[in-house]
Amino acid sequence: MVAKPYLSGRALLSMAAVILAAVPAGTARAQTAAIGKLFTSSGTCSASVVSGKSIIVTAAHCCWNRSNNSWIGGWSFAPGYNNGNAPYGVFNWATATVPTSWVNNGDVPSDVCVIKLQNDSAGRPEHGLQHDLRLERRPVD
């Protein structure tokens, strides 16, 4: 597992723009499953599935602690989490990336973290959510 804080802010923000332009199609179940709880070493945050390739997005302040210049770590994601129920399972992290502009400056536009998840114990990514989400990429104006 690798945490990488050195993606340029521009590259990560471009990725975030593509993510924001992705519109999930399909059932309410798929849309609910796309949002979940991210558990960390210091608490919890919300996160969203943005790719059928086991990618989630959350805030950089959930991943990088600017006070002591270190990774928060311990990430695991429960898609569709509700009141203690994780209907799709819990997925541990494989890699995490935040913009260097967040690490260096902590500016609000750079408060983005992209996490790649490991497969579940059966070897499935995101418990098969990639089949339910059907994300589309659309040009950003």
Give me the mean pLDDT over the 66-83 stretch.
Answer: 93
118 contact partners, CB below 8 Å, separation of at least 6: 54, 91, 92, 93, 94
Distance CA 127, CA 90 (A): 9
Domain 2-20+30-131 belongs to what architecture? Beta Barrel (2.40)
Q: Taking the CA atoms of the chain, what radius of gyration do you get in angstroms?
A: 15
Average pLDDT over residues 85-114: 92
The tally of CA atoms less than 13 A away on the side-chain side of residue 71 is 18
Domain spans of the chain?
Answer: 2-20+30-131
Q: Examine the pLDDT at 111 and tell me if it is beyond 80.
A: yes
Q: How many CB atoms lie within 10 A of CB 36?
A: 26
Tokens of 122: 């059966």
Q: What is the helix (H) or strand (E) element at residue 57, kind and residue range?
A: strand 55-58
Q: What is the pLDDT of residues 27-46, one digit of tens each?
A: 445 557 789 999 999 999 99
More confident of the two residues 124 and 70: 70
DSSP state of 107: -
pLDDT band at 54 (very low <50, low <70, confident <90, very high): confident
* C-alpha span between 97 and 55 (Å, rounded): 11
